[in-house]
Structure 1
Amino acid sequence: MPGGRLTQRDRQRIAAGLADGLSYAEIARRLERPTSTISREVSRNGGPVGYRPQQAHQATAQRARRGTPIPLRAATPPVDAMAGEIIEMAVRTGLPRMTARVHIDLLLSEDGRRTAAELTRRLQVSPASVSVAVNYLVENGYVRRERDPQRRRDVYVLDDEAWYHSIVIGSQQTLETAKAATAAVEAFGPDSPVGQRLAKAGTFLERVIQDMLESADRWRALLS
């Protein structure tokens, strides 16, 4: 019941909420619990990446029986907690949670490669969720898609050059915005308040992005 101990069903709903990319606050609202209860539950039991409802429920029962705290899942590697922190930072910058989970899983993998099936299994989410996430990452240059001809399936790869490509793609998108603002100046009139505002914005964005692209080219060799 709301306000009491978390039930196994509550923990299953928490896991489902994490898989769907919900924030702790939204999960808490749906369960009618304090946000601190959800964040504490997840952090104690593997973090956003490693949270498993059945194991979390068993660990809580063991703590209650023993009356003293016990370590988190022995099988949970320290990287889970670190990944959870990185994911939260990525989400705060505006990246969708599911996309952030996929990106960080690729980033922390040994060779920076995963198939869609591997991502689905590791993150315990639906293939559709993984598909949406990897499509976003591919379109924005964070990962690239390769074809495995032997197994007839796609492999998603994050290499060192991904950081460069993501900056270039993002910059090009911002340049399109700058060009649109500049083009709209004539429609409103260059001497009108709106026209002047758009002209300043377009010029500012264009100069900043050009500097960013030049900087990315200058330091690209660091990724080699």
Structure 2
Amino acid sequence: MPGGRLTNEDRQHIATGLAEGLGYAEIGRRLERPASTIMREVTRNGGPGDYRADRAHEATHHRARRHKQAQPSAPPIPDSSYGRDPRAVQDFAESFTALLVQQGLPRMEARVLACLHITDSGALTAADLVRQLRVSPASVSHAVAFLEGQGMLRRERVPGGRRERYVIDDEIWLRNLLTSLQMSKALAAESQRAAEILGATTPAGARFESSAELLLLVSAAFQQALEQWRQTLDARSAGQE
């Protein structure tokens, strides 16, 4: 199937093409594959002069099995007194991590953030994260530095000790939305400026003017939603006093 993994039949066609003296681009066209895919396949399986389809197919399966065996099992999620299903919590942690990655967060940073989110205290030390995620301290340190720089967590001292722990709170997404709001406003202002410079009646100027209108509309909706959320939090806090 074009775009999927190479099959044994594909590799036979590659071997035949090489024997005929065809280049990677021509072989790729025949298989409806990018030339880069053909080049990688041939390069890591003996090169043009020593490529063998059956041997390459077996080597690929061997690498896949070895990679699968090397993958660490998912870290267990500690159960608590709330009677949660650990498997269901683990499944959610994995799906939430995948969603954060789709939103543009690096995978290690997404794993750290997800781990903090599903922890009732919302706070974990570096040692906690290393143990639960089964990664190196350096990986945790790098991820925490990134998330802290994005305002997605903060550091605090463990009471009565010298260690730090990393904390998230209820306003993490509020801060994230505020950042998005500021960016939308900046883009709207710059788009308006572009429309003035290029001329609103020109195609390029009209494009920027239309963008500015949309961004201003989105910014206004964001602003209204944030104000409503603040009112909700204030009312909730007042009710708890």
TM-score tier, shorter chain, comes to: 0.5 to 0.7
Q: How does 1:97-108 map to 2 (within 5 A)?
A: 97-108=107-118
2:210 corresponds to 1:200 = yes
**TM-aligned CA deviation for residue 179 of structure 1:** 2.1
Name the structure 1 match of 2:136. Answer: 126
Which amino acid in the other structure matches residue 141 of structure 1? G
Which amino acid in the other structure matches residue 127 of structure 1? P
The answer to whether the Cα contact below 8 Å between 1:120 and 1:126 also exists between their aligned partners in 2 is yes
**TM-aligned CA deviation for residue 101 of structure 1:** 0.7
Unaligned runs of 5+ in 2: 1-58, 77-84, 237-241
**TM-aligned CA deviation for residue 86 of structure 1:** 1.6
Name the structure 2 match of 1:29. Answer: none
2:236 corresponds to 1:220 = no
1:176 counterpart (182, 186, 206): 186
Task: Flag the structure with more relative contact order, 1 or 2, with Cα contacts below 8 A and sequence separation at least 6.
Answer: 1
Q: Distance in 2 between matches of 1:192 and 1:128?
A: 53
Q: Distance in 2 between matches of 1:5 and 1:128?
A: 27
Cα gap change, 1:208/1:110 in structure 2, threshold over 3 Å: closer, same or farther? same
1:11 counterpart (69, 79, 85): 69
Cα gap change, 1:175/1:140 in structure 2, threshold over 3 Å: closer, same or farther? farther
**TM-aligned CA deviation for residue 102 of structure 1:** 0.9
Which amino acid in the other structure matches residue 214 of structure 2? F
Q: Distance in 2 between matches of 1:165 and 1:209?
A: 15
Q: How does 1:84-163 map to 2 (within 5 A)?
A: 84-148=94-158, 151-163=161-173
2:11 corresponds to 1:2 = no
* Residues 156-165 or 100-109, more deviating: 156-165
What secondary structure is seen at the aligned counterpart in 1 of 2:196?
helix
The answer to whether the Cα contact below 8 Å between 1:140 and 1:170 also exists between their aligned partners in 2 is no
Query: Could you list the per-position Cα deviations for residues 169-210 of structure 1 after superposition, in whole angstroms to 9, with x for gaps in the alignment?
Result: 222123222222222233323332111211211221122122
1:77 counterpart (83, 86, 89): 86
Which amino acid in the other structure matches residue 172 of structure 2? A
> Sequence identity, in percent?
35
Normalization by structure 2: what TM-score? 0.58
The answer to whether the Cα contact below 8 Å between 1:112 and 1:158 also exists between their aligned partners in 2 is yes
Which amino acid in the other structure matches residue 212 of structure 1? F
Q: Distance in 2 between matches of 1:173 and 1:151?
A: 39
Cα gap change, 1:139/1:210 in structure 2, threshold over 3 Å: closer, same or farther? farther
Cα gap change, 1:81/1:186 in structure 2, threshold over 3 Å: closer, same or farther? same
Structure with max Cα Rg: 2
**TM-aligned CA deviation for residue 164 of structure 1:** 1.7
Q: Distance in 2 between matches of 1:152 and 1:178?
A: 46
Q: Distance in 1 between matches of 2:136 and 2:187?
A: 34
Cα gap change, 1:148/1:129 in structure 2, threshold over 3 Å: closer, same or farther? same
**TM-aligned CA deviation for residue 85 of structure 1:** 1.6
Normalization by structure 1: what TM-score? 0.62
Name the structure 2 match of 1:38. Answer: none
The answer to whether the Cα contact below 8 Å between 1:112 and 1:157 also exists between their aligned partners in 2 is yes
2:219 corresponds to 1:209 = yes
**TM-aligned CA deviation for residue 9 of structure 1:** 6.0
